[in-house]
Structure 1
Amino acid sequence: MRAIRAFMASACVALLLAGCVSHTVRTPAVPVDHAQAQAQDARRAEVVDWSLSGRIAVSNGKQGGSGRIDWENRAERYAVSLSAPVTRQSWRLAGDAAHARLEGIQGGPRESDDVEEMLRETTGWDIPVRAMTYWVRGVGAASDEFGPARVVYGEGNRPVRLEQAGWVIDFEQWQGAGEPAMPTRLVATRSGAKVRLIVDEWSLDAPR
C-alpha cells in the first residue's frame, strides 16, 4: 500500500493540476437539440473498442497523486496502465465486469471480483473503474447496475454534466473534430473523492 501511494504522490501532481485548476461548471444558456444530443450519445455508446492515453489525477480529500495513463478497452474487458515518469514506477489493472487483477504493487499482484473495493484497500482512493468505462465516453453507465443517469447538455449538444451513482462528472472539454467527438477533459467527484482525466489521444475502432 505504501509503495503505490508513494508512486502516485510523487508523480508530477503539480504538472497535471496546475494546468487544469478545477472550475465550477455552469450550465450553458445555449439551445439544445435533444434529438441530436441523444443521437450523439448513441454513437459514443456504440464504440466499445477504444484506447486512450493521457494524464490522471486522483484525490481522497487528504492525499492525492497523478501520473500517465494508457487505457485499452475491448467490449467488457479493460487494461489500464499507470506510470510515474519521475520515479519510473508503474502498475497495471486489467479485468472485466466480474473480475480484476492489479499488478505492480508491494506484496505481489492482487485479484478480486470487486475492483473498486480492491483499489480502496490498496490505494485508499475511490475510483469508479467500471462506471468510468462509460463516463470517459460521455455516456451514462448501465442503469441496471449504477442506477439512472441525469445528463445536462450544452454547446454542440454535448454533455457538460452527468450525475449517476452519487458521482458528478463534469465534462470540461471535447475534441474539436472527429465523429463521434469524445471528451478530452473531465472530472468525477463524490464527497471527498475526485478523479480528473486529461486525454491527449483517443483511438476508436469501428462499432461491431
Structure 2
Amino acid sequence: MAKDIRIERWSGPALEQFIPELARLRIEVFRDFPYLYDGDIDYEKKYLQTYINCPESVIVIAFDGDKVVGASTAIPMKYETDELKKPFLDQGYNLDEVFYCSESVLDKNYRGLGIGVRFFEEREAHAKDLGGFKYICFCCVERPVDHPRRPADYVPLDQFWNKRGYVKHPELNTTYIWKDLDDVNETPKPMTFWLKHER
C-alpha cells in the first residue's frame, strides 16, 4: 500500500459531500470491460443516495490527499432491489443473514497497491461490526469469452476473489439491464453471485 493513500469507512449523510466525485469515478471505471457501462451522472447520484439513506450501509473510500481515487459500497441484502434479493429467497436464504458487497471502483493509476484487498477487508469488518451475518456476497457480470470488446490482456478476478474466501455460486444468479457503450438500447446482462460463509 502506498503510504500516502488512506482508506476510510463512511456512512450516512456525511457522504453527501463525496457524491459528485463518486459518481464520476463510477462512470469512468465502469466504461471498461467487463461492464462497458454507458453511465449517466444523474442515475449515479440517485443510486448512491441509497447508501446515504441506509444507516447500516457503508462506502469505503480511498483518498490520495483530498482526492477520491477509489470507493467500495456495501449494504445488508434486505435493503437491496428485488432483482438482487430474488435468487437468495428462491434458494431459501434468510436475507437478514446476507451482507451484500455491491461494487468497487478504483482509478487505474492506483491499482496493484493493495487497495482492492483493503476494500474487502473494510466491508467485511463493517458487516462484523453490525453482527448477525452468516454470508457475505457480491455479484459480477458474465461476458462471453469471445466478446468483441474483451481486451487481449484481460484477466478475470476469479483468483483474487477465491483468495479472499469467496466461491462462485452459479445457482445464485440474476439479470440487470443497462446500456453498453455504442449501443442504442439497454439490454439484459446475466449476473452471478460469489459467496463467503462467515461462520
What TM-score comes out, normalization by structure 1 length? 0.27
User: Which has a greater percent of helix?
Assistant: 2
User: Which has a greater percent of strand?
Assistant: 1
Choose between structure 1 and 2 for higher RCO, CA contacts under 8 A separated by at least 6 residues: 1
